[in-house]
Amino acid sequence: NAGVMQNPRHLVRRRGQEARLRCSPMKGHSHVYWYRQLPEEGLKFMVYLQKENIIDESGMPKERFSAEFPKEGPSILRIQQVVRGDSAAYFCASSPGQGAHEQYFGPGTRLTVT
Amino acid sequence: DAKTTQPPSMDCAEGRAANLPCNHSTISGNEYVYWYRQIHSQGPQYIIHGLKNNETNEMASLIITEDRKSSTLILPHATLRDTAVYYCIVRQDNQFYFGTGTSLTVIP
């Protein structure tokens, strides 16, 4: 039973480029959460999605950031026109349902903006 | 954002019990307390959760005070591999607020 998969593990982008981060939840999980972790800080919630629906995006910056979780395929976190301040580790977690107590985290994608 | 406060760092001798405290004085009656840990830069790992009763699993024990304003995570026999940042979390709606956690260093 594979865990949460994220790719790429490391991503380097120049300022102004687009970054696409992928997350495949655990088998049987239909709920996905994205978190961002800046250096020396705790994880900050960004967005919570179910298949084809955004449930809570209150932690998502209003501009340049978007997320989706299509019926087929992984969840995508997209950052347009990246800036140096976007450099961080982005973690995805999945759970089988809204009331589930455990969130299972992936290994993260480390984004570096040069 | 975080509804919890934790000491920034702690040390523990290998083989001894590690007791990690957490204050959550504003917790609501139906909010659970969760503990996760993050080893180095890996994804966080679930440890345990509880509502009002003490809980134990293969990893740790969770002691919640009767008024639910604080709790303690206990690692009964700490090993070097338990060195990590430990997060005490009170869940709000769909979100886990991680705070900055306690950096536990297990010393040989």
pLDDT at B2: 61
CA of B106 to nearest chain A CA: how many angstroms apart? Answer: 20
CB spacing of A35 vs B34 below 8 angstroms = no
What are the φ/ψ torsions at residue B81 (nearest 5 degrees)? -75, -10
* Residue A90 pLDDT exceeds 60: yes
Which tens digit of pLDDT belongs to each residue from B30-40? 889 999 999 98
As a whole number, the mean pLDDT across chain B is 92
- Give CA separation, A58 vs A111, B50, B52, in Å: 22, 26, 29
Residues of chain B in contact with residue A105, where contact means CB-CB under 8 angstroms, are 43-45
Tokens 């307390």 belong to residue: B33
Q: How far apart are alpha carbons A76 and A49 in whole angstroms?
A: 10
Which tens digit of pLDDT belongs to each residue from B73-104? 999 999 999 999 999 998 877 778 888 899 99
